[in-house]
A and B are shown apart, each in its own frame.
Chain A
Amino acid sequence: MIESLVFYFLAFLVIGFAVVVVTSRNIFHSALALTAALSVVAGIFALLGADFLAASQVLVYVGGIMIIMLFVVMLSQQPTDAIRSQSNPQWPFALLFAIAIAAELVQKYRTFFGAVEARPGILPTSAPIGRLLLTEMVIPFEAVSLVLLAALVGAVVFAQDRQESRLP
Chain B
Amino acid sequence: MRLYHFLALSGILFSIGIYGVLSRRNILGILMSIELMFNAANINLVAFNQFLYPGNVWGQGFVVFVITLAAAEAVVGLSLVLAIYRNIKSVYTENMNILHG
Contacts and interface: CB of A to CB of B under 8 A. Distances in A.
A27 interface: yes
Nearest to A120: B54
B5 to A, nearest CB: 6
Interface in B20-79: 20, 22-26, 28-29, 31-33, 35-36, 39, 42-43, 46-47, 49-52, 54-55, 57-58, 60-61, 63-65, 67-76, 78-79
Interface size class of B (residues with CB under 8 A): 35 or more
A137 B61 contact: yes
Contacts of B18: 94, 97-98, 101
B1 A151 contact: no
Contacts, number: 241
Interface string A128-163: 110011000100100010011011101110110100
19 contacts: A15-B16, A21-B16, A21-B29, A48-B46, A52-B60, A68-B78, A76-B82, A78-B89, A88-B24, A90-B22, A97-B22, A102-B11, A109-B8, A116-B3, A117-B51, A118-B54, A132-B57, A137-B61, A155-B75
Given A48-B47, A53-B64, 5 more contacts: A15-B9, A48-B46, A81-B26, A128-B57, A148-B71
Interface of A: 3-4, 7, 11, 14-15, 18-19, 21-22, 27, 30-31, 34, 37-38, 41, 44-45, 48-50, 52-53, 56-57, 60-61, 64-65, 68-69, 72-73, 75-76, 78, 81, 85-88, 90-91, 93-95, 97-99, 101-102, 105-106, 109-110, 113-120, 123, 125, 128-129, 132-133, 137, 140, 144, 147-148, 150-152, 154-156, 158-159, 161
